[in-house]
Each structure stands twice: as structure tokens, then as C-alpha cells.
Chain A
């Protein structure tokens, strides 16, 4: 179910009314679980079985880690992580294995390729892993604080944690230690309406007005259509796609955070103005924060992080980024995308260890532009998962010399401008001169609402749904 669909609005209103209804406080969690299951099963009910299986695995293993035989805690935890990863590997990567290891016409190759990708699997399996690992490590809480001894209660809380609809299909990836302590009775009077309003208006604006319109222009990046376009058009489309993917995913994340907040739950920010980053390290602290922090916490640190010498640090960085790339999709181009970013991080680390540049406006502008241009070029691997098409795109860029259509550039600029202003606003908002603007913030929010009503593009699925 899409956040921008009529069916979702109906489901949300009913859920909200029941959730805060008098004398329903004890049923708040079950109400949200049922609503989340309807949300997930709406388009493909059969996939609900997989979500329930994933939930069941995490209920049993996390409970066993907490209340089972203490000698087998590690075994239960490993079992939980392995089962979660097995589900992910089977459903997400079988087609990749099928194409890579077998002939597509062979029966096993055909079988592996035919396995459907369940929506949101990368997100909910990672949340499951976070639960099992957090409970095992007890880094953030003692197990008995958040895992009740009543199995029924624990099952309910785990189903809620993994299935809660705002983050179920495209994140943000919520970690167990952030979410479980928040589960308690919520009150209507505690809703922070202004914050919810800001998050939802900004989120829907980025998705429906910016991303959904830009996607109609960036459609031309598709093979073979791009081969008929001129160099300048190809460059403009690539930058347009960079703004589109940000608006799409940041928009989704803001909507998810706003919706969770309506029900009294706080998700951490998933984007923090990534396109102002002056380094690749900073970019990854600002882009898809819930994934990068998950990978850092549950992969990079366990591999040794930067504690085992320089060579191991570089290797750990590369491994984390390649796996992070593959997490995005079952195609080798995503691994290449991750490798590019891994190399960029490693090279940057190598240089900054040796060269110290003074931070001034010119240096920062050049650094920021370099990071943005690199990130933008790398997005092409997202848009064109066939690696040969990426090569053809670059070839077309170098061969099809010529100027672009003025109106194509104009509309890409018009739809990208709000994303630029969104970042500029962040950069200047701490300055004194900004104070009068802050007092009139209702004007941009009113404008965004107006544009949501009058200027939304054709509704499309969120890009990150495919991951």
C-alpha cells in the first residue's frame, strides 16, 4: 500500500480513531499490528506469510536468548541471525545466483530467477537481526527490561516492532534498542501536532511534487532511449535523477517518521541534508542514516572497524560498502556502486591522513561539488542496473555532442530548485538574519500544501521499495 494512496488514507484514519479511542488504550499495540498487517498484505496477501515467518523467528530466538539455557545464548543468537540472513539471501538474491551460477534455461536457474522479491524484506530482516543482536549483547539495555517474561507479551511487542507500518516496507531501519523501550500507552493529548504537520507536509511535497514529477523526465535515462539524447541532456537528466532519488527516499522517510510520531513513536532522522556533504564520510553520515549506522554497528565494528591497523581498516571499509551496495539490490551493478563508494571512502581516508586543507569557502565549495558530482554519477548504477547500459550511457555522453532542449533543462531546474533551497535553508538557518524568515515559515509550508494539491506528479512507487 502506498502512503499516497486513497486506501492508505482510509486505513490511517480508521487506525488513528481506534488507537486513541477511549478505553482502547490496552489494545493500542494490537490495533497497530492488525493495521500493519493489512497495510503489508494489501497488494499481495500471500507475502504476509513471509513477514509472519520472519516475526516468528525473531520472537523465538530473542526469547530463547533471554530466558533459555544461558549456556546456549550464543547459539540461539547465531541461529536467529543466520535464519534472518537465510530468508534475505533466498528471497532477495536467488535470482542473482540463478543468473550468475546457472544457465537461465536450466530448471534450477529458471526456478531461482522466478522467486519473487517480497516488498520490504531488506528492511524487516535487518530489524530482526538488530533485535537478536541487541538482546544478545545487552549493550543498550538488560534483556529483562525490554523482553517481558510473558511469551505472549513478548510476541506482541516483537510483532509490533518488526511490523509497525510506517517503516515496514522502506525504512527507516529502526533498531531494537531505540524502539522497544518506547512501547507503552500513548495519549492523544501528547501528540506534537506541529512537528507531525511539518514532517508530513515536507515528506509528501518531496515525494508527490518533486520526485513524482522528476521521474517523468528521468524516464529518458532508460535504455535505449538515452541513446537518442545529446550530451548536455544526458548530464542534466543525471543531475535530475540525483535530486529525484533524494526527494523520493527522504520524502518517504519524513512521511514514515511523521506517521510514527502521530502514534507516539519516535524514529530517528534518516536524512540530514546529504547534498551539503564536504566528504564521502560525511555523506554517509547524512544519507540513509539508519542503514549506514546499522552497517557500522552490526558489520563494520564487528569486523574490527579501524582498530586493527590501517590495511584492515581499508579492507573493512570496502567489505562494508560492497555488502551495503548489494543490500540495495540483487544485481552486480549495486555491488559496483558500493565498491565505488568504498574506494572513494578509502582514498579520502588515505588523503586526509596526509594532507590537511584549510577550511575556507573556496575549498569547501570545491570539496562539496566533487562529492556531489561523484555521488550523482554513481546513481546511474541505480537507474541502470544492467552494467552494459551504464557503459552505453557514458559512451552516449561522450559521442552525442550537442546542446540540450531548453525546456528539459528548465523543468529539471524548476523541480530541483526546492531540493536546493531545502539544503540552503539548512546552511543559513543558524544565522541571525534568518530570524525574520523563521517567523514566516508558514508561507513555505502553505506553498508546499498548495503544490501538493495542484502540482503532484503521477503517483509512482517509492524507489526504495525495490530494495
Chain B
């Protein structure tokens, strides 16, 4: 019985590999899986030289408008996850855009140890059918959904479960905004924040030593929470650790006018608007690259460069 079961499992693995080879239906079932798939696609060959590192806030950026840039922003996680993946990938990036909003979370070790696993990584690199985007139940689900014509490929349950990506003004939005405000009103523990910034500084210096240019950016949030104590304190720490006369920042002139789905995450059309602003600023900063002095291993000398937002 044991031998026959093992043989059955082996045959199923071969059949699955064949199906994936002939009909590679990628499926995303939930948001943490979206994170894993995004990380695996980056690790197994989908990486560009310019990389965005961020949280779920930057996950809203419209990447179709930012061709040539990889986005390592993960829902529910922090910049430290993207930095860890980038570090383990061995890639030498040209530019790293780091989101500055969220510093209340550290690295999600469960997630990064899975995607950076020294045992699983070589296996999944060699056998694509074992990657998370090709999970058999996900493929079956995707096949059924496509057959029924319920939704276009690529959208997934998590996105739908988050309800609409349209701006809202109902009771749910108000609850979320109130919780967001409560969260942003809390002053973070200075020691923890200090430890996180020191960690970030080490990562930044490591990237600079490889010749990468670092550009910080802040995602707009609902204007009522934009300048509460936590974001203010985080901005102060950024200014202290990464002075504006040495590092480039893409800053939105203000949060006013940006609509969100829950107080923090931009609605679809607003994300598209901010993406245009981000692209204009990023392009301008990248074209000035050669004129700016870059010193390996130490912070480079740059002026803060923020262009006005274009609608």
C-alpha cells in the first residue's frame, strides 16, 4: 500500500508538471499567496534592475505604467521582507525605491524563510510546477472561474474579499478610518523604531556598496491620518538616518485630495494618479543619476528632489 501510494503520488507529480508545461495557468487564491508568487517570480528570473520595496500601500501602484521596474511590495508585510528577498537573490540592482510609510512591522520571518529557503529554492527553480502559482487546487479553481467567465484572469479572491477598490464613504470605511487613526495616533516605541532604522541603514549601505542608488518615497494616505504622530515620528527618523541633503526623496506635496478604500490604501483611480506622479519624479531622478556623486558604502550627496504632482 505504501509503495503504491508513493508511486501514485510520483505519477501525479509528473502529470502535473506536464500540464503546467503545456498549459501554464497561473492562479492566485489569496493575498499572502500573491506575496509568495510575486517573490518567487522575482527570484526565478523576473527581476528588473530598478526595484520598488514596500508594504501593501505600494502594492497598489499600477505596475503596467512602471515598465522596467519590479515591485517587491507585500500586503501585510513591511519593507524588510522585500529587502531580505533582494539581499538573498544576489541581484545587483541599479535603483531601489524604498517606501517610507510603514515602520511598525519588522521582517515576516515565516514568509521570508519560505521564499528564501536554501532547500526549496533550487528545487522550485528547477521544477516550475512546484511553484505556488501552479498549485493544483488553484489551477482547478482558476479553470472553473475562467470557464464560467466570472472574472478576468489575474484578479483573485483576496482582492474581491477586500470588497471594492473604489473609494468608499460607508460605515465600514468609517470604522476602518477610525482604527487607522487610532493606530497612527499611537507614538511608536523609540527603541524599537531605532532598531528598525539601524537595520534599514545597514541594508541601505549594503545596497549602496553594490552601486545601487536609493530613493525614498511616501505613499499618500487619507488626509485626516496623514500627519498624525506616528507618520510624523517616522518622517523625523528618516530625516535623521537618511538626511535629505544626502538622499533623494519622492514626496507628495500633501495627502489632500487622495481617496482611499480604508484610510490607508489608495483606491484604484487614485493609485493610477499617484503612479503617474511617482513615474514623473522617478524618471527625473533617474536621468540626473550621472550628475550626482555616488560614494560606495557611504550616503551619497543629493538634494531632495520632488516634482509637482501632475494630474
Q: Which residues of A contact B (CB under 8 A)?
A: 6, 193-194, 197, 201, 209, 213, 216-217, 219-220, 224-225, 227-229, 233, 405-408, 410-411, 414-415, 441-443, 445-447, 449-451, 453-455, 458-459
Contacts and interface: CB of A to CB of B under 8 A. Distances in A.
A298 B196 CA distance: 51
A450 B12 contact: yes
A contact patch SS:
helix
Interface stretch (B27-35, B38-46, B82-90, B301-309): B27-35
A454 B1 contact: no
B18 interface: no
B287 interface: no
Contact of A194 (B1, B13, B150, B157): B1
B22 interface: no
A441 B157 contact: no
Nearest to B129: A454
Top 10 closest pairs, chain A to chain B, by CB = A446-B8, A442-B4, A449-B9, A216-B30, A445-B5, A450-B12, A405-B160, A228-B172, A446-B9, A442-B5
A414 B160 contact: no
A197 B8 CA distance: 15
Interface string B89-128: 0000000000000000000001100100001000000000
B187 interface: no
Nearest to B164: A228
A104 B122 CA distance: 50
Nearest to A233: B161
B135 A455 contact: yes
Q: Indicate the member of B30, B162, B171 with the most A CB atoms within 10 Å.
A: B30
A411 B7 contact: no
Contacts of A408: 157, 160-161
A408 B161 CA distance: 8
Contacts, number: 119
B103 to A, nearest CB: 23
Contacts of B141: 407, 410-411, 414
B191 interface: no
A454 B4 contact: no
Contacts of A213: 29, 137
Contacts of A224: 172, 175-176, 179
Interface in B128-183: 129-130, 134-138, 140-141, 144-145, 148, 150-151, 156-157, 160-163, 171-172, 175-176, 179
A406 B148 contact: yes
Contacts of A228: 162-163, 172, 176
Interface string B217-261: 000000000000000000000000000000000000000000000
B77 to A, nearest CB: 12
B1 A217 contact: no
Given A213-B137, A458-B32, A458-B36, A449 B175 contact: no
A451 B172 contact: no
Nearest to A455: B135
B contact patch SS:
helix
B10 to A, nearest CB: 8
A216 B175 contact: no
Nearest to B20: A454
Contacts of B138: 455
Given A407-B157, A410-B144, A446-B5, A451 B110 contact: no
11 contacts: A193-B2, A194-B2, A216-B32, A216-B33, A217-B30, A228-B163, A406-B150, A406-B151, A407-B141, A445-B1, A453-B13
B166 to A, nearest CB: 12
Contacts of B13: 450, 453-454
Contact of B130 (A6, A405, A406, A453): A453
Contact of A447 (B1, B12, B148): B12
Interface residues of B, number: 47
Given A193-B2, A406-B145, A445-B1, A455 B9 contact: no
Nearest to A418: B137
A227 B172 contact: yes
Contacts of A227: 171-172, 175
A451 B137 contact: yes
B110 A459 contact: yes
Contacts of A442: 1, 4-5, 8
Contacts of B172: 224, 227-228
Contacts of A217: 30, 157, 161
B81 to A, nearest CB: 13
A404 to B, nearest CB: 9
A453 B6 CA distance: 12
B162 A407 contact: no
A193 B5 CA distance: 13
B16 interface: yes
A457 to B, nearest CB: 8
B152 to A, nearest CB: 12
Given A405-B161, A407-B150, A407-B160, A454 B136 contact: yes
A228 B161 CA distance: 8
A221 B136 CA distance: 26
B7 A446 contact: yes
Nearest to B150: A406
Contacts of B5: 197, 201, 442, 445-446, 449
B175 to A, nearest CB: 5
Contacts of A459: 110, 114
A405 B158 CA distance: 10
Contacts of B6: 446, 449
A114 B156 CA distance: 40
Contacts of B31: 216
Given A216-B33, A228-B172, A197 B2 contact: yes
Nearest to B120: A6
B34 to A, nearest CB: 10
Contact of A446 (B4, B136, B175): B4
A204 to B, nearest CB: 12
Contacts of A209: 137
Nearest to B30: A216
B33 A455 contact: no
B159 to A, nearest CB: 9
A442 B33 CA distance: 30
A30 B4 CA distance: 36
A220 B172 CA distance: 14
Given A213-B29, A454-B135, A455-B137, A443 B1 contact: no
Nearest to A210: B137
Contacts of B36: 458
B1 A410 contact: no
Given A442-B8, A446-B5, A455-B135, A220 B161 contact: yes
Given A217-B30, A410-B141, A442-B8, 7 more contacts: A201-B5, A233-B161, A407-B145, A410-B144, A411-B137, A411-B157, A455-B138
